[in-house]
Structure 1
Amino acid sequence: MQAPDSSTQFFYDWLDLSESEQQDAIARLQVEQPDLYQEVLPLLTASAATSLHQVLAHHALAWAADSADYSQQLIDKYQLHDEIGRGGIGIVYAATRADNTYEQQLAVKLIQPHIIEQLGQRALFAEAQILARLNHPGIAKVYDGGLFHDQVYIVMEYIHGPTLDSYLQQQELTRQDKLRLFIRICQAVEHAHDHQVLHADLKPANILISSGDQPKLIDFNLTQKFKPQSAQLHDSSLLAFSNQYASPEQKQGEYLTQQSDVYSLGKILHAVFPTPKAGSDLACIIAKATESDTGQRYLSVGDLRHDVEHLLALRPISLRQHLPFYLLKRLVQRRPFYCLLLSLLLASATSFTIAVIEKNRQLSAEKKISDNMLFELTQLLFHSKNSLEQPLSIDAMLEITRRRILSNPDIPQHIKQKMLLALLTPTPPKQHNRPTAQPATPNQP
């Protein structure tokens, strides 16, 4: 048993222990935390009282010994069959209609008398009426209700299927299938919240999976909104819930809001994914949903569902919307083909732009070289024109050209080499026309 943070937490943890473990826990608490021991002592003392003991025994499923067996009995127009389940509120039997109007398999829950004594029949019927107005494929339908020997009963839809935890063990579901299943559970809870109804006892055992992998919520906590009529009992004594999935405020017996169901859903999500990768979106969602501080928790089930839907669709979750690199990563994961195509287009456009820039640079350089060569030729002709009285020899002109080429910094080195090589190429010798010898003319006599 872990060190408790409050008297209420210790009390509910203490209820789950065996008798010997309870004695050891009380003795250890008295020594290690005497102040907390003084706070919890009234609860321990009151638990010995008959009425409170009976109510808490219901919560611990230990009231079987003094519960009447209604198997095979007729209650109004419903024929009960075998018992199919027990909870903190009552016993559930499989049933069918006994008036032969039509065949229908049902489930009948008999509320325990001690719960009725504390809450009153009218309050229970009012809450059952609210549940009857819930019409959602993810919520077990409430059809009818009534009194039998001063005992309230509620007639509900009979669900064929395993509980959520059994279903997960039996089926090899993919990660996507599990997320879709959890989203459908959230949608059912949202529907109840839209009608101002809390479940207040969400746990895998209260979620059945029917045909078509449709989750069904059962066992809404009918005591969630009521205070016991007896002044001897505290509100928390009637809160039937699972300690593992209940929110901190529910364990403390505080007023419940939708965020209490959010916490339980976060615990269920953790049960579906027991080992989420540290730092992953899934781990962040679970941590956000199960925050002890309600101010840091998701405000509604819709907010939780929204992030789980985004996780399934590889979209950014609300907790990381401010991270640019994360947003880009999610975009690539969601649209890999389009992102690859876009990357190729960007790479092609970049390469084309670089090629165009390089080509323009080459053209500019060639134009500059051409201008320089034209300038050199112009200068050479200018020198030749000014030297008409003393004409320049070919060798002199070539020498002047060679010097000007070497001294011009704007001509690239490889162009200079080609031009100088051309200047060094020997010119073919000129063919001098020799006078043709005239044949000797014979002497005239």
Structure 2
Amino acid sequence: MNSEFSGEQQDMLFENLPNTRVFKTIFPKGSYIGPYQVIEEVGQGGMARVYRAYHQKLERFVAIKVMDKQVVSQEDHQRFVAEAKLTARLQHPNIVAVLDVGTALGLNYIVMDFIQGTSLRDIIQNGPLPIDDACKITKQIALGLHYAHNKGVIHRDIKPSNIIITKDNRPVIMDFGLAKNTKMAQDITKSGVIIGTPKYMAPEQIKGDNRSISRATDVYGLGTVFYEMLTGKPVVLGETPLSVSYSILNKEVLPPRNYRSEIPQDVQTICLKTLEKNKQKRYRSANALADDIARFLNGEAVVARQENKFYLLHKKAQRYRLWFFIGMCILLGLLNVLQFFFFNNQDQNNDLQEKYNKVLVKLQNLKSEYQRASLSQNSSKNMMTLLQAMDCNIRNQPLESLNIVESIGESVNKKEQALIFCYRAYFLISAKRYREARESLNQAISIDPSLSLAYFLRGKIFVYFKMHNNAIKDFEYFLTQKNDVEIVLLLCDTYLLEHRYTEAQNKLQDLIKLSPSNYRAYHGLAKCYLHQEEYNKAITYSVETLKKNRKFPPAFYTMGYAYYFLKQWDKSIQFFTRAEALDPTLRYTISYNDTFTPFFYFRGIAYKKQGFLREAFNDFSKGIRFFQNPSSTNRIFNLCLVERARLYAKNNKHTKAVEDYNTVRQNSPHLLNEEDVRYLEKHK
């Protein structure tokens, strides 16, 4: 294969890649954007700047969002145009109004009402809102969203910073830049691409399942804002997008009353219903949410709790106190009559109680018979207990799963006994008790040496303990029993850790022959060549990977590293940035080989080489935060500290520079050069 890009490959690889160069404000104070005179720049985002401007003839202030064509991709440009078209057809008091669109100096712009008010994000930073205020604001936003939904628009980025609260306490929804037009045949965002702000994303957004984006997605987003208004805390806590995404998908939301006990139970129930992981369990529309909040504000029963009969009775009693009191008097009178008959017919009641107990026993027996009938004849009691344990594990209860498995007695069937040990190990792995899991797998293999699942699980544990050769033996044995593509790829990754490149390449080439469309096999070869420092070949096979899957983040990461080591800084930055856009949760930056992760350090160096020091500083800081519990000897962690210290020193922030340098000197002093040491001596 030729390592040079063809014209078609160039188009494919650089399509939608943002230009990372920094630009200065194009429209200074006093300049004109069309007929609008710029007063000041009020904000900027990833692809646009926002100005406050004045239309002299109309004598009104406006906000103008100007796209920067130097930093946006073609997809971003399409979004910008789509935002103007979508928002222009929305006329609602809780949605910012679009007044005009145009072009100035070749740049597209959108003119909107200038909303005098405060960002909800800034309000929440001062603490939780009064409960009634939070409810009223949520209700109004829900009505605005319902209007947009009926016009075929899903916002997809509801968060506090996109909501302005006016002086008369009216919330206004801003920034429809990521909105989805449900009336278009095809969305700008393709399936698999994750867009939005992680802390406020619904589970279906985190998964990149854009076909599942619906009204319920905005209901979830509004639920996160409601939760934050009530508690002053975000729904999920996490330092990295990866940890945030894991929490959204796997962890239950902490009830708001845990933070603030005075929150009414009805309000908590409404809030938690909006945050259901299963979108079918959320409110069916934003309007249904608004209606339920209105019920609470009016003292009525809320729909979210109507399955509870005692709750309904309680609410009705509160609302109709007089009639409830009369009804209770009548009921007490009836009870007195029944009590009279009960004591005068004690023998008869004893007979009735005995008959009731017999019926209850029969019902329990029928239930047991039904359960037995519904099971396969070959399923033993132990196997059914295993299924019960699996169910607990699926519900993220590994310790409960372990307790269930531990209750299983010794099986007469040796294969079954081996399988029980195997599943016990599986639950131990879920509970992060790896040494016990390995012992359990050793027992499973000693009972049934042909149990392939045990070898696979033990191989994974060996990888965790960096016993790579042992892992390779287990994976190779598994493949003699069962041919599985995933295990082949896992084996090849493990070969790379032991520098057994030829074996990895042979396996991957065989896999490509069997399955020519397997893009992960091509990427496996790209990684092989990257490890062997054959960077042009790594790029070639990454190109082949992207021909088969244009949205595969690891291929972009690999090209970012390859171009980094080729010292082609521009391209390295572009490919790392593209990978990050496709992989905001950093799911693919973690592999078995920590040498190339995280990418922030490498992109930071590339930015530094290009003279973009602010971007370099941000990446080094991200690299430091990436390690939530860093080992003091972690090379990448300490390299990021060294580089950040040098940038602090360059900007005369000596206290912070010394702090970073001292951490490195304590952890890995060999990473400091003579200039670093002299700086430390000078600024003791």
Same fold (TM over 0.5): yes
* Alignment of 1:261 onto 2:218: yes
Q: Counterpart of 2:315?
A: 330
CA distance in 2, matches of 1:257, 1:348: 50
Aligned match for 2:321, one of 339, 342, 360: 339
What is the CA-CA distance between 1:349 and the residue it aligns to? 11
Counterpart for residue 208 of structure 1: 164
CA contact (8 A) 2:145 2:286 kept: yes
One-letter identity of the residue aligned with 2:143: Q
The offset of 1:161, in angstroms, is 0.9
2:224 counterpart letter in structure 1: K
* Equivalent in 65, 76, 94 of residue 109 of structure 1: 65
Counterpart code for 2:198: N
Q: Which of residues 264, 268, 271 is equivalent to 1:286? A: 271
The 1:291–1:106 alpha-carbon spacing in structure 2 relative to 1, beyond 3 Å, is: same
The correspondence of residues 416-435 of structure 1 with structure 2, limited to 5 A, is: none
Partner SS state of residue 200, structure 2: coil
Contact 2:90 2:151 in 1 (8 A): yes
TM-score normalised according to structure 1 size:
0.57
- Within the candidate set 22, 33, 46, 1:75 is matched to 33
> Alignment partner of 2:153: what SS?
coil
Residues 1:146 and 2:131 aligned together: no
**Conservation of the 8 A alpha-carbon contact between 2:94 and 2:173:** yes
Aligned partners of 2:229 and 2:39: how far apart in 1? 33
Q: Given the alignment, which residue of 125, 129, 140 partners 2:85? A: 129
User: Would the aligned equivalents of 1:320 and 1:326 in 2 still touch at CA under 8 Å?
Assistant: yes
Distance 1:120 1:341 in 2: 62
Provide closer, same or farther for how the CA distance between residues 116 and 74 of structure 1 changes in structure 2, counting only shifts above 3 A. same
Q: Report 1:49-64 matches (<5 A).
A: 54=18
How far apart are 1:293 and its partner, in Å? 2.1
1:295 aligned onto 2:280: yes
Code of the aligned partner of 1:76: G
Structure 2 residue corresponding to 1:188, chosen from 122, 128, 144: 144
Q: Which structure is higher in helix share?
A: 2
Task: List runs of 5+ in structure 1 lacking aligned partners.
Answer: 1-48, 58-62, 355-445
Q: Which of 190, 205, 217 is residue 250 of structure 1 equivalent to? A: 205
Structure 1 contact 138–184 (Cα < 8 Å) conserved? yes
Partner residue of 1:220? 176
C-alpha displacement of 1:204: 0.4
Alignment counterpart, residue 96 of structure 1, candidates 51, 54, 70: 54
Post-superposition offset of 1:120: 7.8
In structure 1, what is the Cα distance between the partners aligned to 2:304 and 2:178? 34
Judging changes above 3 Å, is the alpha-carbon distance between structure 1 residues 171 and 141 closer, same or farther for their aligned structure 2 residues? farther
Deviation digits for residues 76-109 of structure 1 (CA, Å, limit 9, x no counterpart): 1111221112234421111111xx3221010000
CA displacement at 1:249 relative to structure 2: 1.9
Match of 2:62, SS state, is strand
- Cα deviation for residue 69 of structure 1 reads 3.6
Alignment correspondent of 1:442: none
The alpha carbon displacement at 1:123 in A equals: 6.7
User: Which structure ranks higher in relative contact order (CA pairs < 8 Å, sequence separation ≥ 6)?
Assistant: 1
Q: Which has the larger radius of gyration?
A: 1
Aligned letter for 2:273?
K
Alignment of 1:86 with 2:41, yes or no, is no
Alpha-carbon spacing, 1:194–1:348, altered in 2? closer, same or farther (3 Å): closer
The aligned counterpart of 1:367 is none
Q: Contact 1:110 / 1:152 at 8 angstroms: preserved in 2?
A: yes
Q: Which runs of 5+ in 2 are unaligned?
A: 1-12, 232-254, 259-263, 337-684
What is the CA-CA distance between 1:116 and the residue it aligns to?
A: 6.1
Q: Aligned equivalents of 1:200 and 1:169: distance in 2?
A: 23
1:316-343 Cα deviation digits (max 9, x unpaired): 222322322111111233x2xx414651
Identity %: 29
Aligned-partner Cα distance in 2 for 1:292–1:150:
44
- What is the letter of the counterpart of residue 266 of structure 2? D
Kept in 2, the 8 Å contact 1:227–1:235? The answer is no
| 1:199 is aligned to 2:155 | yes
RMSD: 3.6
Q: Name the CA shift for 1:223/1:67 in 2 (closer, same or farther; >3 Å).
A: farther
Displacement of 1:286 in angstroms is: 2.4
- Residues of 1 paired with 2:179 and 2:256: CA distance? 34
Amino acid at match of 2:131: R
Aligned-partner SS, 1:162: strand
SS at match of 2:18: helix
**Residues 67, 53 of structure 1: alpha-carbon distance in 2 compared, 3 angstrom cutoff:** farther
